[in-house]
Amino acid sequence: MPIKTPFMFRSVILAGLLVALPFSLLHAEDPALDEQARQQGVPVDELRAFAEVMERIRGAYIEDVDDRELLESAIRGMLNELDPHSNYLTPDQFDDLQVTTTGEFGGLGIEVTMEDGFVKVVTPVDDSPASKAGIQAGDLILKIDDTFVKGLSLGEAVELMRGEVGSEIRLMVLTDGDEKPHQVTLVRDKIQLHSVKSRMLEPGLGYLRISQFQNNTGDDTRKALDSLSKDNTLRGLVLDLRNNPGGVLNGAVEVADLFLDNGLIVYTQGREETSRSDFRANPGDQLKGAPVVVLVNGGSASASEIVAGALQDQDRAIVVGNRTFGKGSVQTVLPLSKDRALKLTTARYYTPDGRSIQAEGIEPDIAVDAVTRIEVRDDLQVREADLPRHLGNENGESKNDEKPRSLAQEDYALAQALSVLKGVVLSRNGDQP
């Protein structure tokens, strides 16, 4: 027979008291059990208050309420009071979480949290209904169809946004800087997350975007780097982690490991001193020391901050962009009975230099304004063809075909990151990249 530790004994007493809810515990007291419970720190009076509240609801509320619904609501409320990331997962939510980590799920394609009672968009997923509708990181969702968000839990709001693929949903959205909210109509779709995309920006200078960290992100990143290097000498890389809400911790560790030859990547620390876990790089830098610029913004959170912080602390990359989101906590999914689960914050993570970025974020080495497009006013520039009585072209008047937009016009922050990368390559090699 196993020996019960004080913690186990306390749990047994607590379980015994809860089994008595909500009937006998209200009217009958066991002095011996009460004394044992108090010695172990069990809040006997508060448990009786809980039972009494539940009994009053069952007896006096205007409508019949199912006991199981009351208890599940109590569980959700208990977790909501801890932090924004701990919650109780029903079987459907547990399934959704498992599917998300594999890269395919149904919905709108937004990562959300709660702020001041409203749903706040952490980031939209690339090529999702949300991103196509113009929803941005930092937007507040005030209303879902005909339901106001104020007063709902995050889980309840997320449930309202779920639905069948192809069905419509209306969101009332307030964008930072706007005085009035606006309505957006979206069509739910199956969200297929291809978390890694890559291309060459210029000869020898590659671009790799990671939109979310999944179980297979490390392998996909390795393959993308192999592809970029296959027909080119990769002399530098821009790693784009903008609007990356995070995901699987091991995915972030595997990605950072690809750029590091040794040393600490990240460590997590729970409540107990002995709960520290270190994650270290294996020998072998896939880029063989070629310069890396990491591009981040306010939508870069959690696992993406692990990568940015590790490469920054190890002097392996220059971080460019805006201060990141600042989610430095680790959630553990603890399966419960009947396919339910508990997503509980169990640790904080720290960069190699021991920085906790919780609520602080990663400060970039080079700050770049969050500008996505620059409009060039060609109409303000005078050309020869605009002068009166100008000579015509012997081959006929030139056509004013629209020129392709430059990288700076399409993505200013990326253009700045590329300029930084070129500068590093130039300083190392002494010639043009």
Q: Which residues are catalytic, by number?
A: 302, 313, 327
Using one digit for the tens of pLDDT, what is the confidence trace for 28-52? Answer: 567 777 777 777 787 888 888 988 9
Residues 6+ apart with CB under 8 A from 43: none
Residues 291, 194, 108, 347, CA torsion sign: negative
The CB-based long-range contact list for 406-409 (8 Å cut-off, 24+ gap) reads: 407/201, 408/374, 409/373, 409/374, 409/375, 409/376
Distance set, CA 88 to CA 113, 116, 391 (Å): 15, 20, 76
236/238 Cα distance (integer angstroms)? 7
Q: Is 27 exposed, middle or buried (0-12, 13-18, 19+ CB in 10 A)?
A: exposed
254/195 Cα distance (integer angstroms)? 14
Q: Please choose, from the candidates 87, 84, 89, 141, the residue with its C-alpha nearest in 3D space to the C-alpha of residue 110.
A: 141
The helix-helix angle for 6-19 and 44-60 (nearest 10°) equals: 20
Residue in the block written with tokens 């590093």: 424
Write down the pLDDT at residue 19.
47
Task: Measure CA 383 to chain center.
Answer: 48
Q: Identify the segments of the chain with pLDDT beneath 70.
A: 1-29, 96, 98-106, 192-193, 370-403, 430-433
Task: Measure CA 413 to chain center.
Answer: 20
Write down the pLDDT at residue 418.
96
* Residue 149 structure tokens: 């968000």
Residues 213, 218, 223, 225, CA torsion sign: positive
294/366 Cα distance (integer angstroms)? 10
Write down the pLDDT at residue 110.
87
pTM for the whole thing? 0.73
Ordered by where they begin, the domains of the chain are 6-65 (no CATH), 104-192 (2.30.42.10), 196-367 (3.90.226.10)
